[in-house]
């Protein structure tokens, strides 16, 4: 059951309400929603890589995810970005951390935090920015990313921007 193990290692603690008793309840429930989205996207990446990616010229789960993120953004649900946390990126132009939130998230995730959040007001709406780490969950990742070999911490992140559920 290698797949099952790698999946559970990938997911954040998924218990509803674990976002912290002292938080603003609206922010806490939005964090829980992002945990659900994060589990969904990461599970999809692992399953696509396991079942459909055969060799380095296959369409990667990263490429498929980015198409999915673009659709969700177009429909006004949320924004998500795949970013790289190593020095050697496949697509540095698009996947390098940019801006203060992503750069700070990189530092926090690399120093061991499970996730990093910020609430930002834009006009009269609040948005939750949340980044979660992406570890090397399976041997197949190294087929296309030789620099991931032997890495144990996060090598990438998913960075979300989601309207706070007020």
Binding site for ligand HEC (CB under 6 A): 45, 49, 53, 56, 58, 60, 62-63, 66, 82, 84, 89-91, 94-95, 134, 136-138, 140-141, 143-145, 155-156
d(CA 6, CA 46): 8
The minimum distance between CB 19 and ligand HEC, in angstroms, equals: 25
Chain centroid to CA 60: 16
CA angle 159-162-165, nearest 5°? 145
Q: Which is nearer to ligand HEC, 18 or 88 (CB)?
A: 88
Token pair belonging to 57: 């010229």
The minimum distance between CB 112 and ligand HEC, in angstroms, equals: 18
The minimum distance between CB 139 and ligand HEC, in angstroms, equals: 9
Q: Which is nearer to ligand HEC, 30 or 60 (CB)?
A: 60
Among residues 38, 161, 136, the alpha carbon closest in space to that of 86 is found at 136
d(CA 162, CA 15): 19
Token pair belonging to 154: 């996060």
The minimum distance between CB 98 and ligand HEC, in angstroms, equals: 13
If you compute the radius of gyration of the chain from its CA atoms, what whole number of angstroms results? 16
Q: Which is nearer to ligand HEC, 31 or 85 (CB)?
A: 85
The minimum distance between CB 142 and ligand HEC, in angstroms, equals: 8
Q: How many other C-beta atoms lie within 10 A of the C-beta of residue 135?
A: 17
Q: Which is nearer to ligand HEC, 16 or 70 (CB)?
A: 70
Q: Which is nearer to ligand HEC, 28 or 141 (CB)?
A: 141
């Amino acid at each position: 059951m290698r797949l099952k193990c790698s999946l559970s290692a990938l997911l954040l603690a998924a218990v509803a309400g674990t976002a912290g008793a002292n938080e603003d309840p609206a922010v806490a429930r939005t964090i829980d929603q992002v945990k659900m989205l994060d589990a969904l996207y990461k599970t999809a990446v692992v399953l696509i890589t396991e079942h459909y990616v055969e060799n380095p010229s296959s369409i990667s789960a990263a490429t498929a995810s980015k198409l999915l993120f673009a659709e969700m953004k177009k429909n006004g649900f949320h924004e998500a970005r795949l970013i790289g946390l190593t020095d050697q990126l496949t697509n540095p132009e698009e996947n390098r951390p940019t801006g203060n939130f992503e750069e700070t998230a990189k530092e926090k995730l690399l120093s061991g935090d499970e996730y990093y959040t910020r609430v930002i007001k834009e006009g009269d709406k609040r948005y939750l920015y949340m980044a979660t780490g992406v570890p090397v969950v399976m041997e197949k990742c190294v087929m296309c990313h030789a620099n991931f070999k032997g890495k144990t911490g996060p090598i990438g992140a998913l960075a979300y921007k989601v309207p706070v559920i007020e």
